[in-house]
A and B are shown apart, each in its own frame.
Chain A
Amino acid sequence: MSRRLNRVRLRPSRPRTARRRRLQKLALAVVAAAAVALAALQLTAAFSRVAPQAVRPSVPKHPAAHRVSSPPVPAAQSEAAAWIASQVNGAAIIGCYPAMCVSLQTQGVSASRLVPLGSTVAGVRRADVIATLSSADRKLVDRYAPALIASFGWGSSRVEIRAVAPGGAASYQSALRADLNARKSAGSQLLRNPRIRFSVADARQLRAGEVDSRLLATLAALSSQFALRVMAFGNSSPGAPLLFRKVSVASYGGGNGAARLAAALATIKAQEGPYLPAHSAIVRLGTGQPVLLIEFAAPSPLGLLAAVLTADVR
């Protein structure tokens, strides 16, 4: 009975079946289109997140890739604003174009730390760090803020975060060279320290002068009290020359490693001035091993390892 009834019901639906198939095809097409659109959106978002960290801020090699991966201006801007809020020294005065100033305030940066950038040099010179579009006046930027410390996005919509060099570009380049040499020298000396262990990769980074001078001085001082193993140096500055401001260290040797790390953290938190990190905490790795994370704020100061007043003779 039921079979018959079914047959009865099915027979008149033949024309309807064709319609249903068309509807099914349409639905499939809509779903496929939606999936493609979603994938494209996610791809774009992923590029805007990952690309600045993975690639140097040079002109993209493939023009087509440039067109595809170029994020909308607000995305790069909001990423840049979030980075400044979390990574830049909390006492730094920030020069910004109007829309960026708004984004920075949205991220919780106090208005008292913001200086609007105009077409003149006055705004730049009042700031410690500036956030500009790459389409901004290059002469002004290159002359007074030659130090790129992070960048987000691509092409003309790229947002650059730069440290202001009060003495100008030439003086900055000279100080940068001296600082790099000092970091290389200090890093190599730290490798001879019997109370700190480094991996081969970390050792290479130390010798290359790629580790922030505050980290070097801090590790040297910590090792006077604790035997440490550097797990990794970390870079938190996308789209800028490599300089590790972050390190994770574990305790090694016998005894209570967690207690030693806690004591090391207390020492870190007791610091002031340039030696007080922006972030420090003890976290557990996936293996359950506790590690001490230390991260200093951007920009990295120059000349900290060679803070010697020269003996000039008049």
Chain B
Amino acid sequence: MKLLRHLARLAAIPMLLGGFAAVIAAASPAASAAPLAARDGWVRIAHLSPEAPAMDIYLYPFGDPAHPTVVRDVGYGDVSAYMALSPGQYTVAMRGFDAPASSHPALVSSFMVNAKTAYTVAALGPDPGLRVEVLKDQMTTPRGKTLVRVVQASVKVHRVTVSYGTTVLTKQLTFSSVTSYTAVSPGVHAVKVTASGAHATMSLGLTANTVHTIVVLDGSSGLKADDLTDAVGTEAMPKGGTATGLGGTTLPPPADLAPWLPLLLAGALLTAVGVAGLSWPRRTAAPHR
């Protein structure tokens, strides 16, 4: 009988541990992220207005504006990583860098985030006169191809012509304009930016099935071009922005526990059985005293 009680206690411990582990695993962000990833949209923020100062950018969801997504200290040329956002309507607002959240925001745009869709919220144009464009980012490519588009964000030159290898991506693109995507053959080629009295060249290796945005910017001396990766391969989630150190401060959305409910119940059952197992010998032992 003593042996039986020991065995019951020994069995109860792993049951308890297993039960807790199952509950914790089901409630963890990693677990909730998996089903959400399939449902979310992705947004990154880009400051492409050379004359505008650094700013904090807020995305207010219509349904819950008390929890905005905030990207702080976004300066010219900065592009944030993609942030997962719940689908829905958002108002885009700007505040000066480090301005308190209680200060007056400047409303600049409003857009709908759809599931499984990626967007770039780009501040473009002169300041004053800055505007925010929301660009829908392509996430898939024609088989074996690379997609490239161009954003003209230089005020030093008004119009630019951009080519990748022998492919002319755009001619005489005006300031604060965005092209459609062009399918190009993957490889390592030169990106050439030419304008009246200025030019820039950079070598860029593009692999198949990737999507890119080339941004023409004002460099410290003349023009420069930056490559942003919009998507890689057939990943469900876009690849992220340049390594600018920016990050969203979005709060995690509520976990969708439905797919994990059986595991949760099993965990709870295991825990209950474990608790019962630990206390059973005492209860059964009492009558024998």
Contacts and interface: CB of A to CB of B under 8 A. Distances in A.
A289 interface: no
Interface of A: 182, 185-186, 189-190, 192-195, 213, 216-218, 220-221, 223-225, 266-267, 270-273, 275, 304-314
Nearest to B181: A313
A187 to B, nearest CB: 9
Given A192-B63, A195-B66, A217-B91, A304 B102 contact: no
B194 interface: no
Contacts, number: 113
Given A305-B112, A311-B135, A224 B63 contact: no
B180 interface: yes
A305 B149 CA distance: 24
A232 B176 CA distance: 40
Interface string B131-166: 101111110001000010100000000000000000
B64 interface: yes
14 contacts: A182-B112, A185-B89, A186-B112, A192-B63, A218-B107, A220-B60, A220-B89, A221-B107, A224-B105, A225-B102, A306-B112, A307-B109, A307-B110, A311-B149
Interface in B44-99: 58, 60-66, 68, 88-89, 91, 93
B178 interface: yes
Given A193-B64, A314-B182, 15 more contacts: A186-B62, A192-B64, A193-B62, A193-B63, A194-B64, A216-B110, A217-B107, A217-B110, A218-B107, A220-B91, A306-B112, A308-B111, A308-B136, A311-B181, A312-B180
B65 A314 contact: no
Contacts of B111: 305-308
B contact residues, range: 35 or more
A270 B89 CA distance: 22
A221 B93 contact: yes
Given A217-B91, A217-B110, A304-B110, A309 B134 contact: yes
A275 B106 CA distance: 9
B119 interface: yes
A195 B61 CA distance: 12
Contacts of B68: 224
Contacts of A182: 89, 112
A198 to B, nearest CB: 13
B134 A308 contact: yes
B104 interface: yes
B183 interface: yes
A60 to B, nearest CB: 40
A307 B121 CA distance: 10
Contact of A221 (B63, B64, B105, B137): B105
Given A225-B102, A271-B107, A305-B112, A220 B65 contact: yes
Contacts of B134: 307-309
B185 to A, nearest CB: 14
A311 B106 contact: no
Given A221-B60, A224-B60, A311-B138, A189 B88 contact: yes
Contacts of A266: 104
Contacts of B105: 221, 224, 267
A313 B180 contact: yes
Contacts of A220: 60-62, 65, 89, 91, 110
Nearest to B122: A309
A313 B65 contact: no
B182 A213 contact: no
